[in-house]
């Protein structure tokens, strides 16, 4: 008979998030600012991203920092993965899917590109390039994302061009010296 403290070994816990302990660390979004002066305000809910580029950067860093709740909160209801909070099972599955994605990659760089505004500035299309490491490969992909600005002034991610094939930049063993610590 197992009693408290004995029995099956406990599974190691994954970190709840990967937010920098030192908020003066450069934000992973690539803005060049410290996390405390950049995406932190969006992630903690004290501010909303004022434009699509800021939202893109804050979502990218939320993936890197393992913050699925922020990603979910900044996703428009028209997005195919969106699950409302009242759908507890669906929202939990979506959250786990996001965590799995966050855990499968390390995020190495974001380059926002051309921004196109339509419909009196309420609809935005933003191209970007992201670099991620997955297992022993360094990947790069380009996406064209759609964002909508709601009546409350908040920008939300609606969709991305899913017709992309990540470009393998390097295979294991080919990493340049600059990639070594």
- Write down all domains in the chain, each with its CATH number in brackets: 35-179 (3.10.450.50)
d(CA 101, CA 130): 14
Burial bucket for residue 52 (CB in 10 Å: 0-12, 13-18, 19+): buried
Stated pTM of the model: 0.81
What would the pLDDT profile of 164-177 be if each residue is shown by its tens digit? Answer: 555 666 555 544 44
User: What residues does 90 pair with on adjacent strands?
Assistant: none
d(CA 163, CA 135): 22
Q: What is the pLDDT along the chain (181 residues), one digit of tens a residue?
A: 455 555 555 555 556 888 999 999 999 999 999 999 999 999 999 999 999 999 999 999 999 999 999 999 999 999 999 999 899 999 999 999 999 999 999 999 999 999 999 999 999 999 999 988 887 788 888 899 999 999 899 999 999 985 455 566 655 554 444 444 3
What would the pLDDT profile of 128-139 be if each residue is shown by its tens digit? Answer: 999 888 877 888
**pLDDT of amino acid 14:** 57
User: What residues does 137 pair with on adjacent strands?
Assistant: 134
């Amino acid at each position: 008979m197992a009693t408290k403290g004995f029995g099956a070994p406990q599974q190691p816990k994954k970190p709840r998030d990967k937010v920098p302990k030192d908020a003066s660390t450069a934000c992973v979004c690539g803005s060049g600012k410290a996390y405390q002066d950049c995406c932190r305000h969006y992630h903690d809910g004290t501010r909303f991203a004022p434009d699509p580029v800021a939202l893109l950067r804050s979502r990218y860093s939320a993936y890197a920092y393992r913050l699925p709740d922020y990603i979910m909160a900044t996703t428009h209801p028209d997005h195919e993965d969106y699950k409302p909070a009242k759908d507890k099972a669906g929202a939990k599955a979506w959250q786990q899917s996001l965590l799995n994605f966050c855990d499968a990659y390390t995020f190495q760089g974001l380059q926002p590109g051309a921004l196109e505004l339509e419909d009196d500035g309420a609809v935005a299309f933003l191209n970007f390039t992201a670099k991620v490491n997955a297992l022993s490969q360094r990947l790069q992909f380009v996406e064209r994302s759609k964002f909508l600005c709601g009546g409350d002034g908040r920008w939300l991610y609606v969709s991305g061009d899913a017709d992309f094939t990540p470009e393998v930049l390097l295979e294991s063993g080919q990493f340049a010296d600059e990639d070594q610590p």
